[in-house]
Amino acid sequence: MTKILVADELAEEGLQLLRAAGEVTVKKGMDEDSLRATLPGYQALVVRSATQVTARSLELADDLALIGRAGIGVDNIDVPAATARGIVVMNTPEAGAVTTGEHAMSLLLSLARCIPAADASVRAGKWEKSKFTGVELFGKQLGIVGLGRIGRVVGERARGFGMTIAAYDPFVTQKNAPDGVRMLDLDELLATSDFVSVHVPFSDETKNLLSRERLLAMKKGARLICAARGGIIDEPGLCDALAQGHLAGAALDVFAEEPLPADSPLRAAPNLVMTPHLGASTHEAKRNVSIEMARQVALAVQKGVVLNGVNVPRLAPADAAQVGPYLDLARNLASLLVQTFDGPLESLRLTLQGGIPASANRSLTVATLLGALRPSVNGMLTPVNAEQVAKDRNIRVHCETSSLKRDFMVLLRVEALLGGKRHFASGTVLGQRHGRLVELDDYVLDAIPEGPMLVTFHDDRPGVVGHLGTMLGNAGINITRMQIGAAAKKDGADQAPALGVLNLDGAPDQDLVAKVGAHPAIRAVRVVL
C-alpha cells in the first residue's frame, strides 16, 4: 500500500479519505531534522502551513512522489528542490477562497470604520466618538490586485456594498473579466482607487510589488488591504506612507516574517489593523481544504491524475471529470504500444479528435509519456520529470488536434515510432468512465486496455483461442475479458494473423508465456502490465 505521511493538522474527514487510499501516519510538529529522518519509505506527504519542507528535508526521501499542501500558498515547500527530485507538488487553490475573500472584506470594513481602535478605546474606559469617524464604502472604488478566485470573491462581496470595482491582473483581459469589473494597469489602479486589496501569490515577480514608490503614488487618503502573502508589500515603505499620512490606513493579515517580530516597526505604525494570518482560519475552510487535498492525493495515488499541480501541467478540478478518463486512456494506450511491439522508442505523437478541452493537451501529453516510459524506467518517474526523461533519451513528442473523422464523438490516437517502425493505438471513453481500445495498427476491436493482458498474434483458424484458454486455465489464470481482431487482407498478401487481447486476473510468468509462444499457430505473444 502507498504510505502517506500527514505532518500537519488535517480534518478527520480528510484522514478517512486518505486511509482508503493508503497507509496513513500522522506525525505533527516535526522540525527539519525530524522530517528528514521520517520521510524515507513514504510515497506521499501532506502538509498545511506549519511544516517547512526544505531541500535538506527531502535529501533522503527517495520514495517520495507527491507533496500535497492543504491550502493555497506553497511558500513553506521548496518547490525547485522537489521538482529536481521528480516530486509532484500540488495545492488546493479554491477550497479556501471564500474564507480568505471574506477575511479580506472583514479587514476592509474594520479599516473603513476604525473598529479595532474603537473597540480598544471602549475597553479602556473611553468614549471617543469623534476620534473614530470612518468612511462609507458606497460609491468608492475598490482596486483588486490579482483577479483570481479570491480576488473575484472580494469583488462580488464589495459590489454588494455599492462599490465600483477595478482590477489589475496581467493574465485577465477586459473581455475575460467579470461583469462590472474595469481592468486597469497597476499604476492607474493605485492612483485612482479609494481601497486596494491585494490577492496575488508571492513569487520573484511579485516580491515588493507594492514598493515604497508605488505606495506613495497611491491616491492620497486611500486604504490598503493585504490578505495574500507577506513580502508583496514593502513593509518599511508602508510604515512611512502611514506615518506621513499619505495613506489613511492599512490592514495586513500576512507579513514578510511570521510570526511578526516583537521589534517590527509595523507594531507602532498608525492606522494599521493586523491579524495573525487568519485568512483561511474558519472551521469550514479547514474542513474543505482537508477534504479537497485528501481527494486529490487519493486520485493521484489510485489513478495517477494530478489536480492543481504546482510544478506539473495544471488540471483544474472542474476539468477532472471529463479529462481524467482520457488521461488513463492515453497512458494505457502508450504503455500497450511499447510493450506489444519491439524496438527502442524514438518518438510519440498524440492526436486528439472531438471535445477534449485544449487546456488539457499538455496533461494528456505527459500522461502519454508516463505510459510509454514506465516499462523501461527503473527509477522515479512522475509527471514532474517525464518530459525531461524523454528529452534525455532524445524521444520526440508531439500533440495535435484534428477534425472528427471517425464514428466517435471523441477519439484519442497514440502513435509510437519503435525501432524505425510506426505503430498506433486509438481509443475512446464510454460513459465518461470506461476506456476502450478500438484500433491497434490495422486491427479493429473493442478491448479494455488495462493490464495485466496477454496480446497474441496468431493464425486465424479454429482451436487456437481454445488452446490459449486451456493453457491459462491450467496455470490458474482466469480470462476476464477477451477480444479477437482480424486484420483486413491486402491484395496479393498472405493472410495477416488475428489479434487476441486477453484481460487476465493475474500476470502469467515467463515459463507460461514461453509455452504459449511455442504453439505453432502463435506467431507472437506479449504480456502487457
For residue range 319-343, list pLDDT tens digits in order: 777 888 899 999 999 999 999 999 9
Rounded to a whole number, what is the distance in angstroms from the first to the last CA of the chain? 18
The DSSP symbol for 162 reads T
Question: Are 176 and 208 part of one and the same domain?
Answer: yes
* Average pLDDT estimate for 307-323: 80
Which residue did the predictor score with more confidence, 40 or 496? Answer: 40
Q: Mean per-residue pLDDT for 293-311?
A: 88
Q: Which residue has the cell 501529453?
A: 365
Please list the alpha-helical segments (H only) found in 207-343.
212-216, 235-243, 283-303, 317-340
**Structurally, how many domains does the chain consist of?**
2
Confidence of residue 183 (pLDDT cuts 50, 70, 90): very high
Q: Binning pLDDT at 50, 70 and 90, where does residue 301 land?
A: confident
Q: Are residues 182 and 197 in the same domain?
A: yes
25 and 131 within one domain: no
In a domain, 108, yes or no: yes
For residues 288-302, give the mean pLDDT: 92
Q: Is 479 part of a structural domain of the chain?
A: no
Please report the pLDDT score of residue 488 as a whole number.
63
Model confidence at 405, pLDDT cuts 50, 70, 90, reads low
Dump pLDDT digits (tens) for 220-265.
999 999 999 999 999 999 999 999 999 999 999 999 999 999 999 9
Q: Are residues 115 and 251 in the same domain?
A: yes
Does the pLDDT at position 524 exceed 80? Answer: yes
Please report whether residue 147 resides in a domain.
Answer: yes
φ, ψ dihedrals at 153, nearest 5°: -60, -45
Question: What are the catalytic residues?
Answer: 229, 258, 277
Q: Which residues contact 369 (CB under 8 A, 6 or more apart)?
A: 334, 348, 386, 387, 389, 390, 397
Cell of 203: 513569487
Residues 116 and 246 both lie in one domain: yes
Residue at 408: amino acid letter: F
Average pLDDT over residues 195-209: 93
- 432-480 pLDDT tens trace: 678 999 999 989 999 999 989 999 999 988 899 998 999 999 999 999 9
pLDDT at 42 > cutoff 90: yes
**Cβ atoms of 354 and 333 closer than 8 Å:** no
Query: For position 494, what pLDDT does the model report?
Result: 65
Q: Which of 202-211, 374-383, 487-496 has the lowest mean pLDDT?
A: 487-496
Asked if 506 and 452 touch (Cβ cutoff 8 Å), the reply is: yes
Residue 86 phi, psi dihedral angles, 5° rounding: 75, 20
Do 82 and 138 lie in one domain? The reply is no
| Distance (Å) of CA 73 to CA 69, 85, 93, 168, 308 | 8, 20, 8, 20, 12
Q: What are phi and psi of 40, to 5 degrees?
A: -55, 130
Kindly report the CATH number assigned to the domain that includes residue 64. 3.40.50.720
Q: What's the confidence (pLDDT) of residue 276?
A: 96
pLDDT of 197 above 70: yes
Q: What is the pLDDT of residue 422?
A: 96
Q: What was the pLDDT predicted at 306?
A: 85
Do 240 and 219 share a structural domain? yes
Q: Is 360 contained in some domain?
A: no
Q: What is the mean pLDDT of residues 392-404?
A: 88
Q: Is 230 found in the same domain as 117?
A: yes
**Average pLDDT score, the chain:** 92
Q: Region 131-147: what's the mean pLDDT? A: 97
User: Residue 356 — pLDDT band, cuts 50, 70, 90?
Assistant: confident
Average pLDDT, integer, range 389-410: 85
pLDDT confidence tier of residue 514, bands split at 50, 70 and 90: very high
Domain extent, residue 25, equals 1-92+281-311
pLDDT for position 404: 58
pLDDT confidence band for 312 (50 / 70 / 90): confident
Q: Is the pLDDT of residue 492 over 60?
A: no
